[in-house]
Amino acid sequence: MVRHADFIPHGVIPAVLLPFHDDLSIDEAAFRAHLSCVGAVEGLSAMTINAHSTEVASCTADEQRRVMAIAGETVGDKLPVIHGVWADGSLEAGRIARAAQAGGASALLVFPPGPFAMGQNADMVIAHFKCIADASDLPIIVFQYPLTSGQGYPPDTLLKLLDAVPSIRAIKDWTPVVQQHEWHVRTLHALPRPVNVLSTNSAWLMSSLVLGCRGLLSGSGSVIADLQAQLFRAVQANDLAEARRLNDRIYPLARVFYDAPFIDMHNRMKEALVMLGLLPRAVVRPPLVRIGEAERARIQAALVEAGLLR
């Protein structure tokens, strides 16, 4: 495992999936194969584990450490590994940050604490992130949720947070409001200490990237990292025709992956990888349940439309 000490979050960063056996235990062999397959894609900047895509809410602390160890052994010599920090309490978040650094992670992706959905202020947000920054000197990516969720950080809070915690180097921007998304790009990139905006608006990725994001961090990269990397390069090169061509391939998959209920997005991605012969089974942990046959047929049709399956 190589810790990429100078890593600043940017570019194309897939968030990988976590395969399970039928008894709901982690399928380590399938996970290694999945990591190797995604990690072989040209043009990636890093890889994310212990996040939404790996069903982190259903994983124990020991399982999260094992996921980190496997990722480090499999791809850590080639790519920086970003470790999610999913915790409702700040002390637990700090513990996870310490464990991630000890395990060889190169950066942290910090999810907002669940209690913030009931109300928050800037002091609370800063206190939470300072607990994490005090526990680890890894660069931090702030996961910016939609403001309507109650867990997103309003503009004033976000600016105070970035000023108070210098180890924050990027945000993973999930705001669905285009004007707010553009404000993030324009404002955060222009700060005296620039903070990179990484898009996670995978349902409208081309439009998001055109606003000027410096990268993307996406669960659908577990299936289409190559198309995302090509799209990012095309946008960076101002090649609109090529970007549109690639977006036409991505669109049918985005349409089915991010359909309602939104929580099934990674469930659907597992099904897609099974259809592509890249996962042995599409098992998810409760409270998620396997999607039905009609929805699997829609995913298969989208893979065909995208040119990934015949």
Q: Give the domain ranges of the chain.
A: 11-244
Question: Which residue, among 74, 73, 88, 132, has the nearest Cα to 107 in the 3D structure?
Answer: 132
DSSP letters along 67-125, please? Answer: HHHHHHHHHTTTS-EEEEE--SSHHHHHHHHHHHHHTT-SEEEEPPPGGGGG---HHHH
Paired tokens of 63: 């399982």
pLDDT means over runs of 10, the chain (310 residues):
77 98 98 98 98 97 98 96 98 98 97 97 98 97 97 98 98 97 98 97 97 98 98 98 98 98 97 98 97 98 97
Name the region of 212 (left: φ>0; alpha: ψ -120 to 50; beta: rest).
left
Give the predicted TM-score (pTM) of the model. Answer: 0.97
Predicted pLDDT at 2: 54
Q: Give the Cα separation of 267 and 263 in Å (integer).
A: 8
Paired tokens of 100: 């991630």
Predicted pLDDT at 73: 97
Predicted pLDDT at 62: 98
Question: Which residue, among 82, 17, 2, has the nearest Cα to 219 in the 3D structure?
Answer: 17
Predicted pLDDT at 114: 96
- Amino acid of residue 173: D
280 burial class (0-12, 13-18, 19+ CB within 10 angstroms)?
A: middle
What is the third-level CATH fold of 11-244? Answer: TIM Barrel (3.20.20)
Q: Give the Cα separation of 50 and 88 in Å (integer).
A: 15
In three-state secondary structure terms, 167 is coil
Q: Which residues pair with 15 in a beta bridge?
A: 48
